[in-house]
């Protein structure tokens, strides 16, 4: 067993230099053997060991089990750290199953323990039988091929590594090692309760498969998981490249470019969606293959405005040629997005006016006809093009509008807009719908207005009010520079398409 463990660390050269590791020890045979073996090898492998026991407070004997683990750790000269978590409290708060709540709190506690100890890695005692159970469990729950890869031997989360060096070791081997070396352990009686699906798989389904169908079913399932993981490593690399081509990360949202997404093979489409759902810093809980297929259908066949509610307060929406993932509050609006109710900001003429809440700065100058024409010719000759760093520009007949106070504001109920070159006015809402402006940008889009008259949907459309004519001699020249990255990027992309 020791030789297997040495070989495992030898093979995983991707690991950083380990100076301290946390070993998760429940007191069961698997983790007690792991603690014994890792403790023996720590000197040879060059790291110190911290034993972490998590008390879930779900059974009366849990405090006794913590004392037992502590005594065994101290007997081996290992540092011990005990953590108590409130599983019943989390269940009341989240509605999760006992096993899901315990697992979530256990991993949080292990992470905190590793951070406090300055450890680079956490060692978990999952073995081959656990892997076989996991594959069957996920298959029954409708997992994707990725999910059928089971647990990884090595997984990195931020700067913390999670290690499972016993995934190729059977439960029988661990029990035999404990017996041969006199390692004590405790049995968790809940492991024998068939009210939990994982326990039913271990206690009923796998024995049936071994007896009536295939004696080596656990070996075959573990080998299948290994092959899937190897295939997934290649496909994930391709999916990451595809994600970079068709996904943008915004302020609290993710946006998929549907035309680019549609060009991907179905296998990569699913993996791109999985990468978003499993994004390290914003992991959406409770999703599986069924949800991934529903999202594919929404992206490929949904109408603009249709949506799919996800767990964790997130949803996915079809917004014209994008699939948008964002988090929503109780009223169904994106968090941090909505009618801003900001007071109109007077425009300084001449001068610079900043409007941080709407994400724009306006430079306003009044120029002569001659100066304006010289500038226009110079810009035409230079042809700088349109890009995110190019300020948006609009010009107005200053002589006809002089004396009218101008303001930067967001839209108001009942706002109407007179598009340049067209007769009459339209509701500004209809202008945005026609131009396929995403709904969540409309309330935050800055407008240049004189009272209720909208002169300019800044950076996008100017109105028919006070245009520069052949008789105009003094011109109001306004340039907008964006600090709102989402609007700036949307304008840039739409301008390139047009």
Which residues belong to the annotated binding site for ATP? 26-31
Per residue in 398-416, is it b (16+ CB within 10 Å) or e — as a string? bebeeeeebbbbbbeeebb
Distance CA 214, CA 396 (A): 82
Q: Which residues are annotated as a binding site?
A: 26-31
SS3 annotation, the chain: CHHHHHHHHHHCCCCCCCCEEEEECCCCHHHHHHHHHHHHHHHHHCCEEEEEEEECCCCCCHHHHHHHHHHHHHHCCCEEEEEECCHHHHHHHHCCCHHHHHHHHHHHHHHHHHHHHCCCEEECCCCHHHHHHHHHHHHHCCCCCCHHHCCCCEEEECCEEEECCCCCCCHHHHHHHHHHCCCCCCCCHHHHCCCCHHHHHHHHHHHHHHHHCCCCHHHHHHHHHHHHHHHHHHHHHHHHHHHHHHEEECCCEEEEEHHHHHCCCHHHHHHHHHHHHCCHHHCCCCCCHHHHHHHHHHHHHCCCCCEEECCCCEEEEEECCEEEEEEECCCCCECCCCCCCCCCEECCCCEEEEEHHHCEEEEEEEEEHHHHHHHHHHHHHHCCCCCCCCCEEEEEEHHHHCCCCCEEECCCCCCEECECCCCCCEEHHHHHHHCCCCHHHHCCCCEEEECCEEEEECCCEEECCCCCCCCCCEEEEEEEEECCHHHHHHHHHHHHHC
CA angle 205, 208, 212 (to 5 degrees): 145
């Amino acid at each position: 067993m020791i030789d297997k463990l040495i070989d495992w660390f030898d093979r995983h050269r991707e690991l950083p230099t380990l100076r301290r590791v946390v070993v998760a020890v429940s007191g069961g045979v698997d983790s007690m053997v792991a603690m014994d073996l890792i403790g023996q090898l720590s000197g040879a492998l060059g790291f110190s060991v911290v034993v972490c026991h998590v008390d879930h407070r779900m059974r009366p004997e849990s405090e006794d089990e913590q004392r037992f683990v502590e005594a065994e750790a101290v007997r081996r000269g290992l540092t011990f750290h005990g953590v108590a978590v409130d599983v019943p409290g989390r269940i009341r708060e989240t509605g999760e199953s006992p096993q899901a709540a315990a697992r979530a709190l256990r991993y949080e506690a292990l992470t905190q323990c590793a951070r406090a100890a300055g450890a680079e890695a956490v060692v978990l005692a999952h073995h081959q039988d656990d892997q076989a159970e996991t594959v069957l469990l996920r298959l029954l729950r409708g997992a994707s091929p990725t999910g059928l890869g089971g647990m990884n031997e090595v997984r990195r989360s931020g700067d913390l590594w999670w290690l499972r060096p016993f995934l190729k070791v059977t439960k029988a081997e661990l029990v035999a090692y404990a017996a041969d070396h006199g390692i004590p352990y405790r049995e968790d009686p809940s492991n024998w309760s068939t009210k939990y699906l994982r326990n039913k798989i271990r206690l009923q389904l796998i024995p049936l498969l071994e007896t009536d169908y295939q004696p080596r079913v656990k070996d075959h399932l573990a080998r299948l998981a290994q092959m899937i993981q190897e295939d997934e490593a290649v496909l994930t690399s391709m999916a990451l490249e595809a994600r970079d081509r068709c996904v943008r990360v915004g302020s609290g949202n993710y946006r998929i470019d549907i035309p680019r997404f549609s060009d991907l093979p179905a296998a990569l489409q699913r993996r791109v969606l999985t990468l978003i759902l499993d994004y390290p810093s914003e992991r959406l809980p409770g999703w599986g293959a069924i949800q991934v297929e529903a999202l594919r259908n929404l992206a490929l066949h949904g109408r603009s405005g249709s949506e799919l509610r996800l767990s964790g307060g997130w949803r996915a929406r079809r917004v014209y040629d994008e699939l948008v993932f964002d988090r929503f509050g109780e009223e169904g609006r994106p968090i941090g997005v909505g009618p801003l109710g900001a007071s109109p900001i007077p425009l300084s003429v001449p001068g610079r006016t900043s409007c941080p809440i709407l994400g724009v700065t306006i430079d306003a100058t009044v120029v002569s006809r001659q100066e304006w024409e010289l500038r226009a010719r110079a810009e035409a000759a230079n042809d700088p093009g349109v890009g995110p760093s190019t300020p948006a520009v609009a010009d107005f007949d200053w002589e006809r509008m002089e004396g009218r106070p101008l303001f930067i504001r967001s839209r108001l109920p009942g706002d109407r807009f007179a598009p340049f070159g067209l007769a009459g006015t339209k509701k500004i809402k209809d202008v945005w719908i026609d131009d396929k402006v995403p709904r969540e940008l409309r309330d935050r889009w800055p407008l240049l207005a004189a009272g209720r008259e909208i002169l300019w949907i800044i950076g996008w459309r100017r109105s028919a009010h006070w245009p520069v004519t052949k008789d105009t001699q003094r011109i109001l020249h306004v340039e907008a520079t964006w600090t709102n990255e989402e609007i700036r990027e949307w304008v840039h992309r739409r301008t390139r398409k047009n």
